[in-house]
Amino acid sequence: MNRIVAIVVALAALVVTGLGGAVAAGAQERVLPSGKGEVLLSLAPAVREIAPSVVNVYGARVEQRQAHPFLDDPFFRQFFGDGGFGVPRERVQSSLGSGVILDASGLVITNHHVIADMTEVKVSLHDKREFPAKIVLSDERSDLAVLRIEGEGPFPAAQLGDSDALEVGDFVMALGNPFGVGQTVTQGIVSALARTQVGISDFQSFIQTDAAINPGNSGGPLVDLKGDVIGINTAIFSRSGGNHGIGFAVPSAMVRLVLDSARAGGGIVRRPWLGARLQAVSPEIAQGLGLERPAGALVAAVEENSPAAQAGLKPGDVITEVSGHGVDDPEGFGYRFSSRPLSGEVAFGVLRAGKALTLKVALMRAPEQPPRDPVTAGERPLSPFAGATVVNLSPAVAEELSVNQSDKGVVILDPGSSARYGFRRGDILVSVNERKIANTRDFDSVWRILPRYWRIVVNRQGRILRTELQG
């Protein structure tokens, strides 16, 4: 027994001695850090670079509340006054979001939905200065807006980066003002690129990130580790209102187009005109065309004398690339094509009858033919068109309102009071009381009549809607 104990003790001593030697050897390999930078990896330099350019955006508008019907009677007004039963006639509607200065003269990019319908906008800078701001351009289709700070500059401007250089796995930061608590920074990675079918805006090719984008972050920048703006935070995927690790940002390529349009003094964003109708490639279509997978944008129709026709694009072609960037669906194509500047040409990768082609398409603006010739219906109490403004449909109007360019006729630019009957911006008037509406002159004569019944046919995004209203 004593021999066994002695052996165990000897082995234990050997193990301890060996471990001690290993620890000693390891200790000799260690090098003490020479400074804080070697102890911690920090995002502070990038945050210091971008933070002064991030602003808080406040919007407000005054809404007129409907007065109580008793207030029309002078008898009740002498008791309750014009305010009426303690309820104010006016109500202030407000919004809160974020933005980023991208020009030292005071141009700020934010989201369209942050300032939509706002009559008063203010921005608060990182150093607590506050300025009124003017809405220079607001583009619902990309959900972007440009503001101009009404104050003496120069202002701290951020650099616009290249979203096309991003890769899945790249580190990014989201800055903004969630919940109105002050500027915050969240960090994550790019989890996907060219996300479509999200349903946020017309041009869908979003940067997806797991950096927390909370309410109030909308309009703030998504930046890389150099502090360059590579996107504008727009939305989160959530069922509860909180962040669940999926946020979406508009790529900087689209931001650049909107910003350049504002600098040029345009009230709207001018985008290239294709002159073709596209549709998704379904598995059945892919099999019929001999494609390996259902990807690309299928050309369904081509307008005469359009850039698509002049380039030789034909129905049945499948667009697979725009300027070397792959296209998975019509939404992805729309982003790649519409974010190009209005000059020169762009190369399309096309599959035609199983053969790969390259076509050069001119980057030009859509024509205003026929002229708009706007007409606004008067505020007649029994007319369903009261206050509606209509224009002739041209390729330029079709592009602006995101309607089918092959349709003809008259389109509602602003529904006005007719919105209460369900009319919307972008509705194409086909006929009224069996009379075809070919131009705004036809509409000008129709809205003035007072028939017993109104029979109205509308084309809404390809759907024919028929309605009857009593006059």
Tokens of 149: 């700070």
Distance CA 457, CA 377 (A): 17
Tokens of 342: 């209005």
Q: Are 224 and 161 in contact (CB under 8 A)?
A: yes
Distance (Å) of CA 190 to CA 236, 252, 335, 377, 469? 14, 14, 19, 50, 52
Q: Are 386 and 379 in contact (CB under 8 A)?
A: yes
Q: Are 272 and 262 in contact (CB under 8 A)?
A: no
Tokens of 150: 């009404």
- In three-state secondary structure terms, 277 is strand
Between helix 330-338 and helix 252-263 the angle, nearest 10°, is 40
Is position 113 annotated as part of the catalytic site?
yes
Is position 98 annotated as part of the catalytic site?
no
Nearest to 392 by CA among 429, 365, 446: 429
Of 53, 98, 112, 113, which residue is the catalytic one? 113
Distance CA 436, CA 263 (A): 41
Of 143, 329, 427, 442, which residue is the catalytic one? 143
Sign of CA dihedral 161, 167, 171, 174: positive
Distance CA 92, CA 372 (A): 35
- Judging by beta carbons within 10 Å of its beta carbon (0-12, 13-18, 19+), is residue 245 exposed, middle or buried? middle
Give the single-character DSSP code of 433: T
**399 torsion bin: left (phi>0), alpha (psi -120 to 50), beta (else):** alpha
Is position 143 annotated as part of the catalytic site?
yes
Kindly give, in sequence order, each residue whose CB lies less than 8 Å from that of residue 422, ignoring residues fewer than 6 positions away.
Answer: 467
Of 98, 218, 383, 418, which residue is the catalytic one? 218
Catalytic residues: 113, 143, 218
